[in-house]
């Protein structure tokens, strides 16, 4: 048994000791704690209580796309019809002409008409096909907050509103009123990783990589109490360079040597584990390395490359023996204070239009890639029709931006509109209940009921509600949602209804 296996065995023994101490009857699924500290204990007990018998039998993946800088979603989803006049009067040179907005026809009706930015035909197609939904005016909140409550300071607010770094943290932790120790993706992974056999002693049957994978470096979203995020480049896992198989074996043997210093011993385990996991992941990618042509090409650049790697890892999911995966990718450049438009104040071109165009192309290509993988019957263990309904992506961002123009762009805002996409588009079985809008579109009025005072929308839906809806689909049962999202009980809708559980 390797040192890693010995460490896992010690971990499992400690869980058994824990259960013996507290008594199995006290740790049924009905037990709920509202503290993260207790959540760790619950997680430990569940790991012991389920094991192989409780492992997932299906596969699901969540893909977070973070838009760094604060996306001006006021120009991603554009009001049409009667609302457009208000929009144009306030946005002025940022206005997207109504005739050019790509119309959508939601199955539900809130009395308004909407369209996507003209550079987003892929988003329009996915929405119309029932594979994409929009969520209006969502953002970090501590409690439901009205304009009067905001202005008179009648309820607590997330600290340092309108600050990039703080609101990034708020979005990724979903606990704005606590120190940022964990992200909500990491806490979901803490809860679920025992179900995908990450802790099994058996090195053959257990999952080969961690539940959380980032293609965009370290992030708060995937930080768990016990689960560590696995970092992958757009070319695959980073491995030792300039080493032969024999030299790599020597390095691993050195790493496995028992050390009297516990820290040195643990460090050796980390090195050995990282080398093994990297080699396993790269091996799992081989099916998409040669002779593989994506039917819909990914756009060139970072976001396209990141989502392509996510698709390739998903194609290798069976070799990795994973049943649940949370991915993190990101795109920069959305902080468009004075550089939003193209030459001649053209809102149809320039920086923001370029970013939205790339986002639309990347999401369209990723969805097509998942459907292509699902339909592939030439490679055993890769294709599976069920996969088309097992992968869901969603957007997040620091904040939305101010509704009025500031001359050449827009300033830091608060609430924003976001996208949820994936599933097979079937109106009765699709994972995402698409071709619908969710949440409440803000009243397009400066100093109106949804405005702080400068065109910053006060969120009418919380990040907690948005995130919990996806976590429930992913496998967190309703009884434990308040443990993963401690503030969820403050809001009316723990399930916004855009996922089919």
pLDDT in the model for residue 201:
61
Per the document, the length of the chain is 501
Residue 244 CB: number of other CB atoms within 10 A? 9
pLDDT in the model for residue 44:
46
pLDDT in the model for residue 228:
83
Please tell me the pTM assigned to this model: 0.88
Contact 51, 45 (CB under 8 A): no
What is Dmax (Cα atoms) for the chain?
74
Close Cβ partners of 86 (under 8 Å, ≥ 6 residues apart): 79, 444, 445
Close Cβ partners of 250 (under 8 Å, ≥ 6 residues apart): none
> How far, in Å, CA of 200 to CA of 12, rounded?
8
Closest listed residue to residue 459, CA positions, set 442, 482, 443, 434:
442
Question: Residue 204, Cα to own-chain centre: how many angstroms?
Answer: 29
Contact 135, 420 (CB under 8 A): yes
> How far, in Å, CA of 138 to CA of 134, rounded?
10
DSSP string, 136-180: EEEE--SS---HHHHHTT-S---TTTT-HHHHHHHHHHS-TTS--
pLDDT lower than 70: segments of the chain = 1-54, 198-202, 242-243, 290-291
> How far, in Å, CA of 62 to CA of 325, rounded?
6
pLDDT in the model for residue 339:
85
> How far, in Å, CA of 361 to CA of 297, rounded?
9
Residue 92 CB: number of other CB atoms within 10 A? 12
> How far, in Å, CA of 60 to CA of 492, rounded?
27
Q: Is 443 left (phi over 0), alpha (psi -120 to 50) or beta?
A: beta
pLDDT in the model for residue 141:
98
pLDDT in the model for residue 199:
61
pLDDT in the model for residue 390:
98
For the chain, what percentages of helix, strand and coil (3-state, to nearest 5) are there?
40, 15, 45
Three-state secondary structure call for residue 438: strand
pLDDT in the model for residue 154:
97
């Amino acid at each position: 048994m390797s040192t890693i296996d010995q460490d896992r065995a010690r971990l499992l023994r400690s869980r058994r000791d824990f259960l013996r101490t507290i008594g199995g009857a006290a740790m049924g699924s009905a037990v709920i704690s509202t503290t993260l500290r207790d959540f760790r204990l619950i997680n430990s007990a569940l790991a012991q209580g389920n094991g192989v018998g409780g492992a997932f039998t299906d596969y699901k993946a969540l893909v977070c796309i973070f838009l760094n800088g604060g996306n001006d979603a006021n120009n991603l989803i554009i009001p049409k019809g009667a609302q457009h006049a208000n929009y144009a009067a306030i946005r002025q040179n940022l206005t997207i002409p109504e005739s050019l907005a790509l119309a959508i026809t939601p199955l539900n009706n809130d009395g308004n008409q909407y369209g996507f930015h003209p550079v987003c035909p892929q988003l329009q197609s996915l929405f119309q096909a029932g594979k994409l939904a929009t969520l209006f005016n969502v953002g970090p909140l501590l409690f439901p907050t009205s304009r009067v409550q905001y202005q008179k300071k009648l309820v607590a607010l997330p600290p340092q509103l309108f600050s990039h770094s703080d609101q990034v943290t708020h979005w990724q932790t979903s606990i704005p009123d606590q120190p940022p120790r964990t992200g909500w993706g990491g806490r979901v992974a803490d809860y679920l990783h025992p179900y995908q056999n990450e802790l099994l002693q058996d090195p053959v049957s257990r999952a080969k990589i961690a539940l959380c994978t980032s293609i965009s470096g370290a992030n708060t979203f995937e930080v768990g109490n016990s689960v560590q995020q696995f970092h992958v480049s757009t070319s695959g896992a980073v491995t030792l360079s300039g080493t032969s198989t024999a030299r790599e074996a020597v390095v691993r043997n050195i790493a496995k040597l028992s050390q009297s210093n516990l820290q040195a011993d643990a460090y050796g385990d980390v090195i050995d584990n990282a080398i093994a996991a990297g080699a396993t992941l790269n091996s799992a990618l081989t099916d998409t390395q040669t002779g593989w042509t994506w039917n819909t090409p990914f756009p060139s650049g970072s976001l396209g490359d990141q989502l392509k790697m996510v698709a390739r890892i998903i194609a290798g999911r069976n070799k990795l023996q994973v049943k649940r995966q949370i991915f993190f990718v990101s795109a920069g450049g959305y902080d468009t204070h004075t550089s939003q438009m193209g030459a001649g104040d053209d809102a149809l071109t320039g920086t923001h239009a370029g970013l939205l165009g790339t986002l639309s192309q990347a999401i369209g290509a990723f969805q097509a890639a998942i459907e292509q993988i699902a339909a592939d019957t030439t490679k055993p263990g890769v294709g599976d029709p069920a996969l088309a309904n097992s992968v869901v992506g969603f957007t997040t961002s620091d904040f939305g931006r101010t509704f009025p123009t500031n001359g050449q762009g827009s300033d830091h805002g608060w609430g924003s509109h976001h996208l949820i996409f994936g599933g097979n588009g079937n109106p009765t079985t699709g994972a995402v209940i698409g071709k619908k809008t969710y949440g409440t579109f803000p009243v397009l009025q400066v100093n109106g009921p949804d405005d702080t005072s400068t065109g910053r929308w006060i969120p009418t839906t919380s990040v907690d509600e948005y995130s919990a809806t996806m976590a429930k689909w992913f496998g967190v049962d309703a009884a434990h949602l308040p443990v993963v999202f401690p503030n969820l009980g403050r809001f009316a809708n723990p399930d916004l209804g855009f996922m089919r559980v």
